[in-house]
Structures are given as structure tokens and as C-alpha cells.
Amino acid sequence: MTGIRGIFLKVYCVIQQGFNLPPLEQWYVSILHDGVLPGALANRPNTAFTKNLLDDAKERVPRLKWDLTEVALRNFLVDEIGIPCSKFRVSWSNGWAFAPLGELREAWCRRYGDIKWDNPVEEWSKRPSIYEVSILDRKG
């Protein structure tokens, strides 16, 4: 299809894609858009504890609030996203180390089609602490 109708159809499909995804994929693509893992470790922005990932998924996608378990998250991160995450362990908690952001986005696009990312960075970044932001930039 070409012309205005083709452009409209393509834009509609991209918008609709977000609504038609299963709940875990809705959460995952939102993380890919952000380029930031929830609760990422200080020196490892590609790694986060399982509890932080679970809490974030349940907050972002309400349908996951009662159904998401550690096992379901593990199965998704290992079997479903195209490039498996690897288990990360420390003495007090378990977590997941993600592949480079650019590779995960490419795998997503191969599976679901091209997408314009909200945050165009190629590597995982860490959400700045409120103490790292200038006092003049803070909101109310």
C-alpha cells in the first residue's frame, strides 16, 4: 500500500502493537524504550535484582499484579525475549544480567517489526539519583 492510506495503516499498526502484546511483553518493551533497568545495580546498569524487576512489571502492567511469579519472569527472560538473560547472584539476592540494549532492541525488531525507540541510547543507563540532579532542575 502506498500513499496516505499506507502511511496511516503503518502508524496504526505500530500503535496497536503495544495494545495487542501479552502483558510481560508490554512491560519488556517499555523497559527497552526507557533504556534503563528498574533498580539497576550501581556499577552494572545491565543488571537488576529479581524483586525490582517483579515490582516494576506489576506497577507498569496492572494485569501482572496477581499473576506474575519469579518462575514466570525467569521463563520469560530465558526463553521468550530472543536473547536470554543470565542469572546474577550475590549472597543476599538473585537477579538478572541483560544483554546489551542495542542487541535486545534488534532482537525485538526482528520479532515484531521496526520501532522508533523513545530513548535512542544503545547501552543501558542508570536512572540518576535525586541527589545527582542539580537543585535547579528538581521539580517541586
Model confidence pLDDT, tens digit, residues 110-123: 999 999 999 999 99
Q: 57 in a domain, yes or no?
A: yes
Q: 96 in a domain, yes or no?
A: yes
Report the C-alpha dihedral over residues 43, 138, 117, 69, rounded to 10 degrees: 60
Q: 14 in a domain, yes or no?
A: no
Q: 7 in a domain, yes or no?
A: no
Find how far residue 87's CA is from the centre of its chain.
17
By mean pLDDT, which of 17-26, 59-68, 122-131 is the weakest? Answer: 122-131
- pLDDT for 19 equals 56
Domain count, the chain: 1
Q: 52 in a domain, yes or no?
A: yes
Q: Which residue has the higher pLDDT, 26 or 18?
A: 26
CATH number at residue 81: 1.10.10
> Residue type at 130?
I
Q: 97 in a domain, yes or no?
A: yes
Q: Which domain covers residue 101, as residue numbers?
A: 22-112
- pLDDT for 124 equals 95
Q: 4 in a domain, yes or no?
A: no
- pLDDT for 130 equals 45
CA proximity to 90, closest of 43, 34, 28: 43
